[in-house]
Amino acid sequence: MPQRVLIVWERGGHLGHLGKLLPVAHVLRAAGYEVVFGVANLVSVKPVLNAVGYASIRIPVALPGTKSSFGGSAMGHAEVLLGSGFSDGQQALAGVQAWYSLLVRVQPAAVLVDASPLALYVARCMGLRSMAIGHGFDIPPQNLKPCFAPWTDDAHQRMEAGARELQGVFDQLAVALSGHWGRQVPTSMDDLFDPAHCFLCTWPELDYFDRPGLTPEEASSYEGPIWGAFPGARPHRWPENSREGQRSKVLCYVYLREKHFDLIWQTLAQAGADVLVIAPGASEDVCQAVRAFKVQVINYSVQLGSLLSQCDVVLCQGGMGLVSMALHAGKPLLLLPEYMEHAVLAYRLVRQGLALATARLHDMTVVKDKVERLLGDAQLARAAGALAEKYAGYSPLLAAEHAAFRLLE
Protein backbone atom coordinates (compact mmCIF):
# COMPACT_ATOMS: atom_id res chain seq x y z
CA MET A 1 0.00 0.00 0.00
CA PRO A 2 1.53 3.38 -1.00
CA GLN A 3 2.46 5.91 1.63
CA ARG A 4 0.15 8.90 1.89
CA VAL A 5 0.96 12.60 1.64
CA LEU A 6 -1.55 15.13 2.93
CA ILE A 7 -1.58 18.51 1.19
CA VAL A 8 -3.36 21.11 3.33
CA TRP A 9 -4.77 24.37 2.00
CA GLU A 10 -6.83 26.46 4.40
CA ARG A 11 -6.85 30.22 3.75
CA GLY A 12 -7.17 32.10 0.46
CA GLY A 13 -10.05 32.81 -1.86
CA HIS A 14 -10.58 31.62 -5.43
CA LEU A 15 -8.60 28.61 -6.67
CA GLY A 16 -5.22 30.17 -7.39
CA HIS A 17 -3.49 28.19 -4.62
CA LEU A 18 -4.11 25.00 -6.59
CA GLY A 19 -1.89 26.41 -9.33
CA LYS A 20 1.18 25.76 -7.18
CA LEU A 21 -0.10 22.73 -5.23
CA LEU A 22 -1.27 20.53 -8.10
CA PRO A 23 2.13 20.38 -9.87
CA VAL A 24 3.70 19.21 -6.59
CA ALA A 25 0.90 16.68 -6.14
CA HIS A 26 1.53 15.33 -9.64
CA VAL A 27 5.22 14.82 -8.81
CA LEU A 28 4.36 13.02 -5.56
CA ARG A 29 1.83 10.79 -7.30
CA ALA A 30 4.33 9.93 -10.05
CA ALA A 31 6.78 8.94 -7.30
CA GLY A 32 4.27 6.40 -5.99
CA TYR A 33 2.64 8.30 -3.14
CA GLU A 34 -1.07 8.52 -2.49
CA VAL A 35 -1.96 12.22 -2.35
CA VAL A 36 -4.93 13.50 -0.35
CA PHE A 37 -5.94 17.16 -0.22
CA GLY A 38 -7.27 18.70 2.98
CA VAL A 39 -9.21 21.87 2.18
CA ALA A 40 -11.53 24.26 3.97
CA ASN A 41 -13.95 24.78 1.07
CA LEU A 42 -14.85 21.37 -0.32
CA VAL A 43 -17.78 22.72 -2.34
CA SER A 44 -15.63 24.65 -4.82
CA VAL A 45 -12.42 22.62 -4.63
CA LYS A 46 -13.63 19.00 -4.66
CA PRO A 47 -14.89 19.02 -8.29
CA VAL A 48 -11.52 20.34 -9.49
CA LEU A 49 -9.61 17.70 -7.54
CA ASN A 50 -11.96 14.93 -8.62
CA ALA A 51 -11.30 15.85 -12.24
CA VAL A 52 -7.60 15.02 -11.81
CA GLY A 53 -8.06 12.02 -9.55
CA TYR A 54 -7.26 13.33 -6.07
CA ALA A 55 -9.25 12.54 -2.92
CA SER A 56 -10.14 15.47 -0.69
CA ILE A 57 -11.29 15.87 2.91
CA ARG A 58 -12.61 18.76 4.95
CA ILE A 59 -10.15 20.21 7.45
CA PRO A 60 -10.71 21.93 10.81
CA VAL A 61 -11.02 25.70 10.59
CA ALA A 62 -11.14 28.40 13.25
CA LEU A 63 -14.65 28.61 14.69
CA PRO A 64 -16.77 31.66 13.77
CA GLY A 65 -16.27 34.42 16.27
CA THR A 66 -12.93 33.12 17.56
CA LYS A 67 -10.53 35.78 16.46
CA SER A 68 -8.08 38.17 18.00
CA SER A 69 -8.91 41.54 19.45
CA PHE A 70 -7.99 43.17 16.12
CA GLY A 71 -10.63 43.88 13.52
CA GLY A 72 -10.40 44.44 9.76
CA SER A 73 -7.41 43.47 7.64
CA ALA A 74 -4.40 41.98 9.37
CA MET A 75 -1.55 44.41 10.00
CA GLY A 76 1.12 41.72 10.10
CA HIS A 77 1.80 38.01 10.43
CA ALA A 78 0.98 37.92 14.13
CA GLU A 79 -2.56 39.07 13.41
CA VAL A 80 -2.82 36.54 10.56
CA LEU A 81 -2.05 33.72 13.00
CA LEU A 82 -4.34 35.18 15.66
CA GLY A 83 -7.14 34.91 13.12
CA SER A 84 -6.11 31.42 11.98
CA GLY A 85 -6.58 29.29 15.06
CA PHE A 86 -4.19 30.98 17.49
CA SER A 87 -6.76 33.46 18.83
CA ASP A 88 -6.31 32.38 22.47
CA GLY A 89 -4.92 29.42 24.38
CA GLN A 90 -8.23 27.63 24.86
CA GLN A 91 -9.31 27.85 21.23
CA ALA A 92 -5.82 26.97 20.02
CA LEU A 93 -5.82 23.83 22.17
CA ALA A 94 -9.20 22.86 20.70
CA GLY A 95 -7.73 23.36 17.23
CA VAL A 96 -4.68 21.28 18.12
CA GLN A 97 -6.95 18.44 19.23
CA ALA A 98 -8.99 18.65 16.02
CA TRP A 99 -5.89 18.58 13.84
CA TYR A 100 -4.32 15.80 15.89
CA SER A 101 -7.44 13.68 15.42
CA LEU A 102 -7.43 14.31 11.66
CA LEU A 103 -3.74 13.48 11.28
CA VAL A 104 -4.10 10.30 13.32
CA ARG A 105 -7.01 9.28 11.11
CA VAL A 106 -5.26 10.11 7.80
CA GLN A 107 -1.87 8.69 8.86
CA PRO A 108 0.23 10.73 6.41
CA ALA A 109 3.89 10.04 5.86
CA ALA A 110 4.33 13.78 5.22
CA VAL A 111 2.26 16.97 5.33
CA LEU A 112 2.60 19.86 2.88
CA VAL A 113 0.96 22.99 4.25
CA ASP A 114 -0.26 26.05 2.37
CA ALA A 115 -1.68 28.92 4.45
CA SER A 116 -2.67 26.77 7.44
CA PRO A 117 -0.38 27.62 10.37
CA LEU A 118 -2.18 25.44 12.94
CA ALA A 119 -1.87 22.40 10.67
CA LEU A 120 1.88 23.05 10.42
CA TYR A 121 2.08 23.50 14.20
CA VAL A 122 0.43 20.15 14.96
CA ALA A 123 2.39 18.29 12.28
CA ARG A 124 5.60 19.69 13.79
CA CYS A 125 4.47 18.70 17.31
CA MET A 126 3.81 15.14 16.13
CA GLY A 127 7.23 14.89 14.51
CA LEU A 128 5.81 14.34 11.04
CA ARG A 129 7.76 15.30 7.96
CA SER A 130 6.16 18.65 7.25
CA MET A 131 6.82 21.78 5.24
CA ALA A 132 5.08 25.08 4.64
CA ILE A 133 4.94 26.05 0.97
CA GLY A 134 4.13 29.50 -0.31
CA HIS A 135 4.97 32.40 -2.56
CA GLY A 136 6.18 34.35 0.46
CA PHE A 137 3.20 36.16 1.91
CA ASP A 138 2.22 33.30 4.24
CA ILE A 139 5.82 32.55 5.27
CA PRO A 140 6.98 35.30 7.64
CA PRO A 141 10.62 36.36 7.60
CA GLN A 142 12.69 35.43 10.61
CA ASN A 143 13.24 37.95 13.41
CA LEU A 144 12.04 41.36 12.18
CA LYS A 145 8.42 41.08 11.08
CA PRO A 146 7.13 43.36 8.28
CA CYS A 147 4.08 45.57 8.64
CA PHE A 148 1.59 45.11 5.81
CA ALA A 149 0.30 48.71 6.03
CA PRO A 150 3.00 50.91 7.65
CA TRP A 151 1.16 54.08 6.61
CA THR A 152 -1.66 53.32 9.08
CA ASP A 153 -1.70 55.61 12.14
CA ASP A 154 -1.64 52.83 14.75
CA ALA A 155 0.57 50.43 12.80
CA HIS A 156 3.45 50.28 15.29
CA GLN A 157 1.18 49.83 18.31
CA ARG A 158 -0.84 47.10 16.60
CA MET A 159 2.27 45.23 15.51
CA GLU A 160 3.63 45.22 19.06
CA ALA A 161 0.30 44.28 20.61
CA GLY A 162 -0.27 41.49 18.07
CA ALA A 163 3.19 40.04 18.68
CA ARG A 164 2.64 40.03 22.45
CA GLU A 165 -0.79 38.45 22.13
CA LEU A 166 0.44 35.73 19.79
CA GLN A 167 3.50 34.90 21.91
CA GLY A 168 1.21 34.54 24.90
CA VAL A 169 -0.75 31.88 23.00
CA PHE A 170 2.46 30.06 22.04
CA ASP A 171 3.52 30.13 25.71
CA GLN A 172 0.19 28.66 26.84
CA LEU A 173 0.39 25.93 24.23
CA ALA A 174 3.97 25.07 25.24
CA VAL A 175 2.94 24.65 28.88
CA ALA A 176 0.02 22.43 27.91
CA LEU A 177 1.73 20.31 25.24
CA SER A 178 5.43 20.02 26.09
CA GLY A 179 4.78 17.26 28.62
CA HIS A 180 3.46 15.10 25.77
CA TRP A 181 5.55 16.17 22.79
CA GLY A 182 8.60 17.69 24.47
CA ARG A 183 10.97 19.82 22.43
CA GLN A 184 9.06 19.18 19.19
CA VAL A 185 6.53 21.84 20.25
CA PRO A 186 7.21 25.13 18.38
CA THR A 187 7.63 27.93 20.92
CA SER A 188 7.25 31.01 18.71
CA MET A 189 6.29 32.16 15.23
CA ASP A 190 9.96 32.10 14.19
CA ASP A 191 10.26 28.55 15.50
CA LEU A 192 7.10 27.45 13.68
CA PHE A 193 8.33 28.91 10.38
CA ASP A 194 11.93 27.77 10.72
CA PRO A 195 13.44 27.98 7.19
CA ALA A 196 14.21 24.27 7.37
CA HIS A 197 10.45 23.67 7.32
CA CYS A 198 9.57 26.22 4.62
CA PHE A 199 9.70 26.25 0.83
CA LEU A 200 9.64 29.67 -0.84
CA CYS A 201 8.29 29.13 -4.34
CA THR A 202 9.18 32.56 -5.63
CA TRP A 203 12.15 34.55 -6.87
CA PRO A 204 13.80 37.14 -4.61
CA GLU A 205 12.47 39.91 -6.89
CA LEU A 206 8.91 38.63 -6.38
CA ASP A 207 9.12 37.98 -2.65
CA TYR A 208 6.60 40.02 -0.67
CA PHE A 209 9.16 40.87 2.01
CA ASP A 210 12.85 41.48 2.63
CA ARG A 211 14.50 38.56 4.41
CA PRO A 212 17.73 40.05 5.81
CA GLY A 213 20.39 37.80 7.26
CA LEU A 214 19.57 34.66 5.30
CA THR A 215 22.39 32.13 5.32
CA PRO A 216 23.43 30.78 1.89
CA GLU A 217 21.51 27.59 2.67
CA GLU A 218 18.38 29.53 3.58
CA ALA A 219 18.72 31.80 0.54
CA SER A 220 18.80 28.72 -1.64
CA SER A 221 15.21 28.04 -0.54
CA TYR A 222 14.16 30.58 -3.19
CA GLU A 223 13.25 27.82 -5.59
CA GLY A 224 11.10 29.92 -7.91
CA PRO A 225 7.36 30.19 -8.55
CA ILE A 226 5.29 27.14 -9.42
CA TRP A 227 2.55 27.18 -12.00
CA GLY A 228 0.91 24.69 -14.29
CA ALA A 229 -2.12 24.10 -16.49
CA PHE A 230 -5.32 24.39 -14.48
CA PRO A 231 -7.64 21.34 -14.71
CA GLY A 232 -10.23 21.88 -17.41
CA ALA A 233 -8.54 24.98 -18.84
CA ARG A 234 -9.30 25.25 -22.54
CA PRO A 235 -6.89 26.23 -25.29
CA HIS A 236 -7.57 29.71 -26.64
CA ARG A 237 -5.88 31.91 -29.22
CA TRP A 238 -6.22 35.57 -29.91
CA PRO A 239 -8.81 35.95 -32.68
CA GLU A 240 -7.08 36.25 -36.04
CA ASN A 241 -9.07 39.32 -37.06
CA SER A 242 -7.66 41.21 -34.07
CA ARG A 243 -4.16 41.20 -35.52
CA GLU A 244 -4.81 43.93 -38.04
CA GLY A 245 -2.66 47.01 -37.65
CA GLN A 246 -0.34 47.81 -34.78
CA ARG A 247 -2.83 47.70 -31.91
CA SER A 248 -1.35 46.73 -28.52
CA LYS A 249 -2.67 43.40 -27.33
CA VAL A 250 -3.69 43.62 -23.66
CA LEU A 251 -4.35 40.42 -21.73
CA CYS A 252 -6.52 41.03 -18.66
CA TYR A 253 -7.22 38.46 -15.96
CA VAL A 254 -9.65 39.79 -13.35
CA TYR A 255 -12.58 38.79 -11.21
CA LEU A 256 -15.27 40.90 -12.78
CA ARG A 257 -17.77 42.88 -10.76
CA GLU A 258 -20.40 45.20 -12.18
CA LYS A 259 -18.90 48.54 -13.30
CA HIS A 260 -15.79 48.04 -11.12
CA PHE A 261 -13.33 48.28 -14.03
CA ASP A 262 -15.35 50.46 -16.40
CA LEU A 263 -12.78 53.29 -16.53
CA ILE A 264 -10.08 50.75 -17.37
CA TRP A 265 -12.07 49.38 -20.32
CA GLN A 266 -13.01 52.89 -21.46
CA THR A 267 -9.40 54.08 -21.39
CA LEU A 268 -8.07 51.00 -23.17
CA ALA A 269 -10.72 51.41 -25.88
CA GLN A 270 -9.82 55.08 -26.33
CA ALA A 271 -6.16 54.04 -26.67
CA GLY A 272 -7.11 51.67 -29.49
CA ALA A 273 -5.92 48.60 -27.63
CA ASP A 274 -6.93 45.07 -28.55
CA VAL A 275 -8.20 43.75 -25.22
CA LEU A 276 -8.93 40.18 -24.17
CA VAL A 277 -10.45 39.72 -20.69
CA ILE A 278 -10.31 36.35 -18.95
CA ALA A 279 -12.83 36.34 -16.10
CA PRO A 280 -13.53 32.78 -14.89
CA GLY A 281 -16.91 32.44 -13.26
CA ALA A 282 -18.21 35.88 -14.21
CA SER A 283 -21.92 36.09 -14.95
CA GLU A 284 -22.99 36.51 -18.56
CA ASP A 285 -24.74 39.80 -17.72
CA VAL A 286 -21.52 41.30 -16.36
CA CYS A 287 -19.56 39.99 -19.36
CA GLN A 288 -22.04 41.56 -21.78
CA ALA A 289 -21.70 44.92 -20.01
CA VAL A 290 -17.91 44.79 -20.50
CA ARG A 291 -18.28 43.80 -24.15
CA ALA A 292 -20.09 47.10 -24.70
CA PHE A 293 -16.62 48.68 -24.53
CA LYS A 294 -15.58 46.61 -27.60
CA VAL A 295 -13.65 44.25 -25.34
CA GLN A 296 -13.48 40.48 -25.83
CA VAL A 297 -14.51 38.61 -22.68
CA ILE A 298 -14.51 34.91 -21.84
CA ASN A 299 -15.75 33.62 -18.49
CA TYR A 300 -14.08 30.22 -18.27
CA SER A 301 -10.55 29.02 -17.53
CA VAL A 302 -8.13 29.00 -20.45
CA GLN A 303 -4.56 27.94 -20.99
CA LEU A 304 -2.56 31.10 -20.54
CA GLY A 305 0.79 30.12 -22.05
CA SER A 306 -0.01 30.85 -25.68
CA LEU A 307 -1.94 34.02 -24.82
CA LEU A 308 1.02 35.37 -22.86
CA SER A 309 3.27 34.74 -25.83
CA GLN A 310 0.88 36.66 -28.12
CA CYS A 311 0.05 39.66 -25.92
CA ASP A 312 2.09 42.82 -25.40
CA VAL A 313 1.13 43.71 -21.83
CA VAL A 314 -0.80 42.16 -18.92
CA LEU A 315 -3.34 43.62 -16.53
CA CYS A 316 -4.40 41.68 -13.43
CA GLN A 317 -5.23 42.04 -9.76
CA GLY A 318 -1.94 40.64 -8.47
CA GLY A 319 -2.19 36.88 -8.00
CA MET A 320 1.34 35.51 -7.86
CA GLY A 321 0.67 32.79 -10.41
CA LEU A 322 -0.13 35.10 -13.31
CA VAL A 323 2.32 37.79 -12.16
CA SER A 324 5.21 35.32 -12.26
CA MET A 325 4.10 33.85 -15.59
CA ALA A 326 3.80 37.33 -17.13
CA LEU A 327 7.22 38.47 -15.92
CA HIS A 328 8.78 35.18 -17.01
CA ALA A 329 7.38 36.00 -20.46
CA GLY A 330 8.80 39.55 -20.23
CA LYS A 331 5.42 41.31 -20.27
CA PRO A 332 4.90 44.71 -18.61
CA LEU A 333 2.27 44.61 -15.85
CA LEU A 334 -0.46 46.87 -14.52
CA LEU A 335 -1.69 45.57 -11.15
CA LEU A 336 -5.10 46.43 -9.68
CA PRO A 337 -4.76 45.06 -6.14
CA GLU A 338 -7.89 43.84 -4.39
CA TYR A 339 -6.55 42.21 -1.22
CA MET A 340 -3.72 43.07 1.16
CA GLU A 341 -1.59 40.32 -0.37
CA HIS A 342 -2.00 41.92 -3.81
CA ALA A 343 -1.17 45.36 -2.43
CA VAL A 344 2.05 44.23 -0.74
CA LEU A 345 3.27 42.53 -3.93
CA ALA A 346 2.30 45.53 -6.05
CA TYR A 347 4.26 47.84 -3.75
CA ARG A 348 7.35 45.64 -4.04
CA LEU A 349 7.21 45.34 -7.82
CA VAL A 350 6.53 49.04 -8.40
CA ARG A 351 9.57 49.95 -6.30
CA GLN A 352 11.71 47.74 -8.55
CA GLY A 353 10.25 49.19 -11.74
CA LEU A 354 8.75 45.80 -12.67
CA ALA A 355 5.11 46.87 -12.66
CA LEU A 356 2.62 49.71 -12.43
CA ALA A 357 -0.22 49.63 -9.92
CA THR A 358 -3.28 51.52 -8.75
CA ALA A 359 -6.33 50.89 -6.62
CA ARG A 360 -7.90 54.21 -7.65
CA LEU A 361 -10.11 52.69 -10.33
CA HIS A 362 -12.68 55.50 -10.26
CA ASP A 363 -10.20 58.33 -10.84
CA MET A 364 -9.99 58.94 -14.59
CA THR A 365 -6.77 60.96 -14.35
CA VAL A 366 -4.96 58.17 -12.54
CA VAL A 367 -6.39 55.39 -14.73
CA LYS A 368 -5.50 57.24 -17.94
CA ASP A 369 -1.93 57.81 -16.73
CA LYS A 370 -1.42 54.16 -15.75
CA VAL A 371 -2.86 52.78 -18.98
CA GLU A 372 -0.80 55.16 -21.14
CA ARG A 373 2.37 54.16 -19.30
CA LEU A 374 1.51 50.45 -19.52
CA LEU A 375 1.18 50.73 -23.30
CA GLY A 376 4.11 53.03 -23.94
CA ASP A 377 6.68 53.04 -21.11
CA ALA A 378 9.91 51.70 -22.64
CA GLN A 379 11.65 51.56 -19.26
CA LEU A 380 8.93 49.33 -17.84
CA ALA A 381 9.20 47.03 -20.84
CA ARG A 382 12.99 46.86 -20.49
CA ALA A 383 12.75 45.94 -16.79
CA ALA A 384 10.28 43.14 -17.49
CA GLY A 385 12.46 41.93 -20.35
CA ALA A 386 15.59 41.93 -18.19
CA LEU A 387 13.90 39.79 -15.54
CA ALA A 388 12.67 37.39 -18.22
CA GLU A 389 16.21 37.12 -19.59
CA LYS A 390 17.59 36.41 -16.09
CA TYR A 391 15.19 33.49 -15.64
CA ALA A 392 15.04 32.37 -19.27
CA GLY A 393 15.98 28.78 -18.44
CA TYR A 394 13.65 28.52 -15.47
CA SER A 395 11.22 25.57 -15.20
CA PRO A 396 8.27 25.65 -12.77
CA LEU A 397 8.12 21.85 -13.03
CA LEU A 398 11.64 21.62 -11.66
CA ALA A 399 10.60 23.78 -8.69
CA ALA A 400 7.64 21.45 -8.09
CA GLU A 401 10.00 18.47 -8.11
CA HIS A 402 12.31 20.20 -5.61
CA ALA A 403 9.33 20.92 -3.34
CA ALA A 404 8.31 17.26 -3.37
CA PHE A 405 11.84 16.01 -2.74
CA ARG A 406 12.45 18.47 0.10
CA LEU A 407 9.21 17.45 1.78
CA LEU A 408 10.19 13.78 1.67
CA GLU A 409 13.88 14.03 2.51
pTM for this one? 0.94
Q: Would you state the CATH architecture of domain 4-224+396-408? A: 3-Layer(aba) Sandwich (3.40)
pLDDT of residue 230: 87
CATH architecture of residue range(s) 240-390:
3-Layer(aba) Sandwich (3.40)
Q: Looking at residue 68, what is its pLDDT?
A: 47
Domain ranges (residues) in the chain? 4-224+396-408, 240-390
Give, in order, the Cα–Cα distances in Å from 376 to each of 34, 72, 273, 312, 371. Answer: 50, 38, 12, 11, 9
Domain 4-224+396-408 matches domain 240-390 at the CATH topology level: yes
- Would you state the pLDDT for residue 66? 44
- pLDDT at residue 88, as a whole number: 93
Please provide residue 4's backbone torsions phi and psi, each rounded to the nearest 5 degrees.
-110, 140
Distances (CA, A) of 225 to 347, 368, 392: 19, 31, 13
Which pLDDT belongs to residue 239?
A: 75
pLDDT, mean of each 10-residue run, the chain (409 residues): 95 86 98 97 94 97 55 85 94 96 98 97 98 95 90 90 97 97 97 94 94 66 89 87 72 91 96 96 94 95 94 96 97 96 95 97 97 98 98 96 96
Query: What pLDDT does residue 245 have?
Result: 58
